[in-house]
Amino acid sequence: MSLQAPEFFAELCLPFHDQTVVGNTYFAAPVPGAPLRLRIDFSQTIHADTYGGLRVAVVHQERGEIDAVALSFAGHGTFHRRDEANNTWMNTKQHGTFDRYHRPGRPPWDGAVVTGLRDAIEQYTAVWFPGAWTACAPRPTAGRTARSVPSPPTGHVVARTR
């Protein structure tokens, strides 16, 4: 099954004009004419066909990869709402991850909130590509989600006792 990478990277709303997705990898030239490029891949977990975050790298045209950082989905709250709604335990392979298998008509990363990832990518690219982020598209609205996950009912409040 396809990861639907172009749709995932479109959800991130990265502002770079010179960009493309090849397979499951996003490539961009944030500064036109500069030798540095941005590459973003899905980072795999120890479980087959399961992804736990993104690997963001700066690549020089002639020297290859210069720097990279791993951004975990769990560390950036990407699937927090989905996992909470589904009562997904922290020590399971499904917590803070997605895999290639999904419901028909839905992306495998259904329920992702990409705002934290986008903010982390913005901070990382500001170091390597100063000014490139602000020279491009405006910031999307906060709380952008891939698709909405139903929230648990809020009408019933349980009092906590000691």
- Quote the CA–CA distance of 94 and 70 in Å, as a whole number: 19
If we measure between CA atoms, which residue out of 98, 80, 74 comes closest to residue 151? 80
- Convert the pLDDT of each residue in 126-157 to its tens digit: 999 998 887 554 444 444 444 433 333 344 34
pLDDT at 80 over 70: no
Q: What percent of the chain has pLDDT over 70?
A: 63
pLDDT at 5: 86
Report pTM: 0.74
* Largest distance between two CA atoms of the chain: 63
pLDDT at 105 over 70: yes
pLDDT at 153: 39
- Quote the CA–CA distance of 135 and 14 in Å, as a whole number: 12
- Quote the CA–CA distance of 120 and 118 in Å, as a whole number: 5
